Amino acid sequence: MSPIAAGVVGAVVGAAVGATAVVLSEEKNRKAIGKKFNEVKDKVEEVAAGVADQAKDVVSQGEKKVEEAKKAVKSKL
């Protein structure tokens, strides 16, 4: 990376850190960010639970298909 690009990246990162520090210095902003974080966390947990349920259903269906196939093979032997 060229020194100029590194300097520009450093300046942008520094500005972002500074802006974040200013925003987080106010308690109301910290509370608002914390509230939004909890909302997002709850939504992610909800989606993850739904995905887990769907995965269990798929596994169950797969197991049933395997058992059906085993029975079909045994009946033909």
Q: Which residue has the higher pLDDT, 77 or 49?
A: 49
Residue 51 reports pLDDT greater than 80: yes
Separation CA 72–CA 45 (nearest Å): 41
Separation CA 46–CA 28 (nearest Å): 27
Q: Stretch 53-63: mean pLDDT, rounded?
A: 92
Which domain range does residue 29 map to? 3-76
Domain tally for the chain?
1
Interval 30-45: pLDDT, tens = 788 888 889 999 999 9
The reported pTM is 0.50
3-state helix, strand, coil in the chain (%, to 5): 95, 0, 5
Please report, in angstroms and rounded to a whole number, the separation of the first and last CA atoms in the chain: 68
- Give the pLDDT of residue 33: 81
